[in-house]
Structure 1
């Protein structure tokens, strides 16, 4: 943890939020502010899934790029990110299971009939709904943490989260292209589309430089 890196990352995030707000305020957005909220929530949950899908390719390339004598050590440290991924995917699976059970419990209990069916139809949602709400809250907060810390991949190598962040932001940007470019003149659309990932890439490159010059952190050497 480096306070300088943390301040720069927060500053970029604040600047990006302000720029997005001014863009929407000036040129509007399809779907209004509710569309902004839905887009933010969808990206919050989409980011960890992209990391899970694309991250292994980046990590494999990162370890292959490292000197041969360092690769066994880097591979041995993968258990920490894998543990975080398993916890996250377990929470997703548990949430889906609870949701399916709650939605289908009435039909299944109706097949039992009688007092047992009526009691089961009332008890099952009461038992599972609090679990489902807890899982939803856990996924909401852990999704943001997973995206920021890239599933604890700093335990593998201090430079790995910065590399993963660059890949993540560009993939997210390409995925969001399916919704179309923002409103406004052409130059504003291009700037809005490229501004986010370019600024994140610049901060990540600076972070790698800062780690190398201040702490001697290198991928090779």
Structure 2
């Protein structure tokens, strides 16, 4: 992922807070076997300390790919919108000559994957995930020796992704003038489609922290 200086996370807390704010679904990418395209799996995940936790169906083709190469990338994206060229026009220029762009936030985790396959280890992984996704505890006990999970656990395998590096990008035109960025956020709010509102919120949040970009 290419990151311009003005698109980089301002600190680790920025991307960590963004992930914690409900961004818990991403793409697991595995290099796979020689001669085959990479395996890419969309899935929810849970943060466990500095690791990521995932579980997938046992028939998933990702397992053979991970066995061949356990170095994987997990990518989370969100708060994205298409920005028309005229919105980015410089004063005194023809609006239709301006170049459009995409705004988005993205965090990539470069990880080393290890398979979690023991019954109790998988049960504990699921307990940690359910504590995040169903914190009210409105589910049966996750016990490998009791129904309903006991009979279902053999159908899944878990993954613990040990994070080696994080690349975070917040692409919201932070190198552009304050007036333009403020205007774009207003236009996004007025347009109000898809993820326009959270995209505008991200742009205004970055604007508040960055102000006028200084290399």
TM-score norm. by structure 1 comes to 0.20
Which one has the bigger strand percentage? 2
Larger radius of gyration: 1
Which one has the bigger helix percentage? 1
